[in-house]
Structure 1
Amino acid sequence: MKTAILNQQEIQYKIRRIAFQIYESNLNEPQIILAGIKNKGYTFAEKIKTCLEEISDIKIKLVSLKLDKKNPLNGIEASIAVSEYKNESVIIVDDVLNSGSTLIYAVNFFLDQPVKKIQTAVLVDRSHKKYPIKADFVGLSLSTSLSETVKVNFDKPYTAYLME
């Protein structure tokens, strides 16, 4: 069974609201790094970047983070050099926060760098965490059963579904 939880208009509204929250939280930063977790997290980060560029003068550097979600201990690859993170504010972006393992490993990756601050943004937070991590910027908080999954589609029209 598939139940729609967000339509295109709602997703666009959530993107805009998250962009404003990121801007407000980083008003004094000349530049921020949006680190999107491949694939859908990166797509979500691209959409946030577009909106941030419309509403602010902050320079936005978009970074792709590649990791094996089933085996995150295999390491993380970033699309820019480590030296480019130095003393920067980083926002790690993913589409859905499930158990928290993807975000916690991504946060850990940046903890090894001399960054100014780390924040997280997700479109949907499912509230089933195995790890002590929360998203700083959330589009929708949703209580689900462990057997349910959330799928986000960023192809037009954007949609998010709860699937059993």
Structure 2
Amino acid sequence: MVNRILTHEQIQHTIKRIAYQIYEANVDENEIVVAGIVGGGLNFAKKIAAVLRKITEAQIVLCKLQMDKKNPLQSGVNTSIDEEAYKNKSIVLVDDVLNSGTTLIYGVHHFLKTPIKQLKTAVLVNRNHKKYPIKADYKGISLSTSLNEHIRVEFEPKNDAVYLE
């Protein structure tokens, strides 16, 4: 059974709300790095970055974070920008769904190897099955789901949606 959890309009509203929350937390910053985890996280990060560019004069730097989500320890984490580009900056790490926390914790670990000003996390859907002590600072929706259920996020032009399967 498939249930639509969030409609396109609800997702657009959530993106704006999260962008404004990020802006408020970084109002004095000249530059904000929005780091999206490749896949749904990067798509979500691009949408947040687009709204941020409209509401702040700060430079918004989009960073792609690449890792093997099934085995991040072995694959390591790679970014599309050099370490110097995010050193001493405010970073928002973005993913579409926070399940166990594995992907976010390895992303956070990567950035903590460098001196940074601030690191926050943003997710569209926060599930309550974490195995690591990580939380979403900015979240669209929190769901208590069973481990058998799956969250599917679709980013399609004018038809974004989140489904519970």
TM-score using structure 1 length: 0.98
TM-score using structure 2 length: 0.97
Match of 1:62 in 2: 62
Match of 1:43 in 2: 43
Distance in 2 (CA, whole Å) between partners of 1:121 and 1:58 is: 19
Distance in 2 (CA, whole Å) between partners of 1:144 and 1:77 is: 31
Distance in 2 (CA, whole Å) between partners of 1:128 and 1:14 is: 22
Deviating above 4 A after TM superposition, structure 1's stretches of 4 or more consecutive aligned residues are: none
Match of 2:25 in 1: 25
Which amino acid in 1 is paired with 2:37? I
Instruction: Name whichever of 53-62 and 5-14 sits farther off.
Output: 53-62
SS in 2 for 1:57: coil
Match of 2:140 in 1: 139
Match of 2:98 in 1: 97
Unaligned runs of 5+ in 1: none
Distance in 2 (CA, whole Å) between partners of 1:151 and 1:96 is: 9
Match of 2:4 in 1: 4
- Pairing 1:77–2:47 present: no
Unaligned runs of 5+ in 2: none
2:160 to 127, 152, 158: 158
> How big is the shift at 1:69?
0.4
Distance in 2 (CA, whole Å) between partners of 1:123 and 1:107 is: 17
Distance in 2 (CA, whole Å) between partners of 1:108 and 1:117 is: 13
Distance in 2 (CA, whole Å) between partners of 1:146 and 1:123 is: 18
Distance in 1 (CA, whole Å) between partners of 2:89 and 2:147 is: 36
Match of 2:122 in 1: 121
SS in 1 for 2:18: helix
SS in 1 for 2:147: coil
Distance in 2 (CA, whole Å) between partners of 1:130 and 1:101 is: 8
Instruction: Name whichever of 51-60 and 132-141 sits farther off.
Output: 51-60
Which amino acid in 1 is paired with 2:16? R
Percent of aligned positions with the same letter in both sequences? 53
Which amino acid in 1 is paired with 2:87? K
Distance in 2 (CA, whole Å) between partners of 1:52 and 1:86 is: 20
